[in-house]
Amino acid sequence: MAVTKQEALSSIPTHLSPEALNHWFDQRLDEKLAERDAAKTPSLAIIATKGTLDMAYPPFILASTATALDWDVSIFFTFYGLELLKADLELGLSPLGNPAMPMKMPFGPDWFQNINWKIPNAVQSVVPGFEGFSAGMMKQTLKNKGVASIAELREMTLEGGANLVACQMTVDLFGYSKDDFIPEITDWIGATSYLPQAAKADISLFI
């Protein structure tokens, strides 16, 4: 039941000193703010800009986790991030210029798997099929560790109720067709439409 202005005013103690009255107001304010925060559903807005295998995991892991916590979640896929919305996921990765790559070997004895293979970029760039090899190693490592695939994480994110939003400007720029993407996309909008939504979110991330 809503409290009327008259009822609110009548609840203010009049017998208190100014100092005590100020303390009472502060306490009441803290209580009301705590009630509002407890009733509020947290929200997360993610801008996904990259379409490689290694960079596909952060947005979907964060989004699926947030939906599991009953948060309101939206992801805006722009530029190469649109690759993550393709109906056919064919994600690769390039270890060139990436100090964390290539990953450790996913097979062999423990001492072999623990070796950090510091392969110079000059070598990586001239070895035929090195990028495909690195992508295969990463997929095998993820599988060995029981980590869900990107397709599975995307499905979990959708099942959790997240809104997957495509950047219409990038679709037009790259000459994509809407038929290239999954049908579950919530909206096709530009940055001017999505940024106001992100501004209202409790957490906004650029990945």
- All structural domains of the chain: 43-206 (3.40.1260.10)
pLDDT in tens, 77-133: 999 999 999 999 988 877 766 666 666 777 778 777 777 777 666 566 666 777 777
- Compute CA 7 distance to the chain's CA centroid, rounded to the nearest angstrom: 45
Query: How far is Cα of residue 148 from the mean position of the Cα atoms in its chain?
Result: 16
Joined together, the tokens standing for residue 77 give 């896929």
What pLDDT score does 18 carry?
72
pLDDT digits (tens, 9 = 90+) for 145-167: 888 999 999 999 999 999 999 99
- The first and second tokens of residue 184, run together, are 């579950």
- The CB density around residue 91, as the number of other CB atoms within 10 Å, is 19
Going by pLDDT thresholds of 50, 70 and 90, the confidence category of residue 5 is very low
DSSP state string for 24-47: HHHHHHHHHHHHHHHHPPPEEEEE
Closest by alpha carbon to 95, among 104, 83, 86, 106?
104
Decide: helix, strand or coil at residue 17: coil
pTM value?
Answer: 0.74
At 169, the amino acid letter reads: M
In order, the DSSP letters of 46-80 are: EEE---SHHHHHHHHHHHHHHHHTT-EEEEEE-GG
pLDDT digits (tens, 9 = 90+) for 13-55: 566 667 776 776 677 777 766 766 666 789 999 999 999 988 9
